[in-house]
Structure 1
Amino acid sequence: MSAILIFLVAILAIVGWWLSHQRLMSKPWLEVGPVTAFPETEAPVTHPAKIGLGVFLGVVGALFALLIGAYLMRMAYADWQAPPVPRVLWLNTGMLALASLAMHCAVVAAHARQRDNLRLALFTAGLASLAFLAGQLLAWRDLADQGYFVTVNPGVSFFYLLTAMHGLHVLGGLVALGRTNIRAWRGGPAAGLVLSTELCAIYWHALLVVWLVLFAVLMGWAANFINVCRLLLS
C-alpha cells in the first residue's frame, strides 16, 4: 500500500505543478483598470489540446502507478517468481529514447519551418517506435521459448501485463504520429503542424519516462530502492 501511495503522490504532484502554471484559476473579469495593467490575469497561452493531453497523461500515470504498486505488493508472496529479463529490453529502451530525441528535434524543426528536417525527425521517431514494439514482441517470444507463459507464474503474468499496457499506448501514439507525418508531407498550415508535433513530442517523452520506471521495476531496481528506503526509515 505504501508503494502505491508513493507513486500516486508523485504523479499528482507533477500534474498539480503543471496545472498550477497554466493560470486556470485566474479571474480577469474581477480586475479593475486597463488590461495591460494586469498581465498575469490574461488568458493562459497554453493550447487547450495541451491541457487535455496533460490531464490524460496524469490518468495514464496513475494507472501505471497502480499497476506498479500491485506488482511490488505481489512480490511479497511466497509463490512469486520473476522471469529472467530478456536482454533485448536494453535495445528497446535505446529505441524509445531515440524516438523521444527525434521528437524533440522535430519540434525544433517545426518551429524553424524546416520541413525537410521535420519530416526526417518524424520518420525517425516512427521507425524507432516500431522497432521498440518489434523488440517487445521478441522479448515475449524469448520468454515463451524458455517456457515462461502468461499462466506459469504471477511474476510472468505481470511482465506481460506491464509491457502490453505500455505497448498499447505506444501503438496508440503511432496513430497520431502517423497523421502528423502525413500532414508534414502534404503541407498545410504551419501553426497546426507545430501544435501536432508538440503534442506528439510531449506524449513520447511521457512514454519514455513511464518505460524507464517500468524497466527499473522489471529489473528489480525499484524493489531494491524501496527496501533501502525502508531500512533507512526503520
Structure 2
Amino acid sequence: MNVILLFLAAIAAIIIWWLSGQRLTSKPWLETGSVQLPDQHGTERPPVPAVKIGLFVFLGVVGALFSLAVSAYFMRAASADWWGMPVPRLLWVNTAALALSSASLQWAKREAQHGRMESLRPALVTGLALAVFFLAGQIQAWRELTAAGYVLVDNPANSFFYMLTGLHGLHILGGLAVLTHTTVRAFSTEVAPDRLRLSVDLSAIYSHFMFAVWLLLFALFAGWANDFVDLCRTLLN
C-alpha cells in the first residue's frame, strides 16, 4: 500500500507540474487576441503536440501497472513460502547498458534540436544498439538462472522475477520498434526536420521512463527497496 501511495504522489506531482504549464489558472474570458502568452524571451510558447500528451497518458498507465505489480510483490514476499533468489551479476551490466542507451537518446535529442544530423545518426544508432544489448542480456540472465535451478514455478519469488523482468522487456521491445523506425528516418533525406525532432524527443522520454522503472525493479530484486519501504513505514508510524 505504501508503494502505491508513493507512486500516486509522484504521478500527482507530475500532473500538477504539467497542468501549471497549460495556463489553467488563467481567465480566458478576460483575455483578447491569441490564447498563447509570450514566454520570458518574448516568443510564443508552442502548443504541446497531441502525440506527446498521449505518450504521457500511456506512461501513466504503464506506471500504474508496474506499481500494482510491485505492491503485489511486497504483499507476496511476506508469505512463508517465499525464498529469495540471487541477483545475477549480468544484471549490473544490463543496467549500465540501459543507462548508456538512455544517455545516448538524450544526446540524440539535443543534436536533433540543433539540427546536427551528422551527430544525431550515431547517437540514435548507439541508443538502439545498447537497448538491444540490454534485451539480449536479460535473456542471458534468464538462461543462467534456469540453468542454476531457479525455474519459474519453483518459488513465488522466481515467478515474480520472471514476470516483472518479462513485462519490462516487452515494453522495451515496443519502444525499440519506434526507435528503429526513428533511426531509419534519420538516415532518409526526405524526412521533415520537425517530425524527426518530435520522434527523437518521444523516444528519449520513453527511454528515460523505462530506465527509471528498471532501476525500481533492480532495487526491488537486490533488496534495497525493502529497506526503503521499512524506512517509510517507520517515518509514517
Q: Report SS of the residue matched to 1:161.
A: helix
Percent identical among aligned pairs is 50
Unaligned runs of 5+ in 2: none
- Aligned residue in 2 for 1:31: 30
Aligned length: 232
Contact 1:95 1:131 in 2 (8 A): yes
* Residues 27 and 36 of structure 1: CA distance in aligned 2, closer, same or farther (over 3 Å): closer
- What is the TM-score normalised by the length of structure 1? 0.91
Matched, 1:147 2:123: no
**1:4 matched to which residue of 2?**
4
Equivalent in the alignment of 1:190: 193
Rounded to whole Å, the distance in 2 between the matches of 1:100 and 1:80 is 34
For the residues of structure 2 that align with 1:10 and 1:232, how far apart are their CA atoms?
Answer: 18
RMSD of aligned residue pairs (Cα, Å): 2.1
Structure-1 residue corresponding to 2:233: 230
Q: Secondary structure at the match of 1:186?
A: coil
**Whole-Å Cα distance in 1 between the matches of residues 79 and 147 of structure 2?**
26
CA deviation after TM superposition for structure 1 residue 121, in Å:
0.4
Give the Cα separation in 2 of the matches to 1:153 and 1:134. 24
1:149 shift after superposition? 0.7
Contact 1:173 1:200 in 2 (8 A): yes
2:117 matched to which residue of 1? 115
Provide closer, same or farther for how the CA distance between residues 111 and 224 of structure 1 changes in structure 2, counting only shifts above 3 A. Answer: same
Q: Name which of 60, 64, 67 aligns with 1:65.
A: 67
- 8 Å Cα contact 1:15/1:55 also seen in 2: no
The answer for unaligned runs of 5 or more in structure 1 is none
Letter aligned with residue 175 of structure 2: G
Specify the alignment match of 2:224 in structure 1.
221
Q: Residue 84 of structure 1: CA displacement?
A: 0.6
Aligned partner of 1:78 in structure 2 is: 80
Whole-Å Cα distance in 2 between the matches of residues 118 and 204 of structure 1?
16
Between stretches 103-112 and 15-24, larger displacement belongs to 15-24
CA distance in 2, matches of 1:23, 1:32: 12
List aligned pairs for 1:168-207, cutoff 5 A: 168-187=170-189, 188-207=191-210
* 1:21 is the counterpart of 2:21: yes
- 1:99-139 deviation per Cα after TM superposition (whole angstroms, max 9, x unaligned): 00000110111112111211100000000000000110011
> What's the offset of the Cα at 1:231?
3.1
What per-residue deviation string (whole Å, max 9, x for no partner) do you get for residues 70-97 of structure 1? Answer: 1111111111112110000000000000
Query: Which of 127, 131, 134 is 2:133 aligned to?
Result: 131
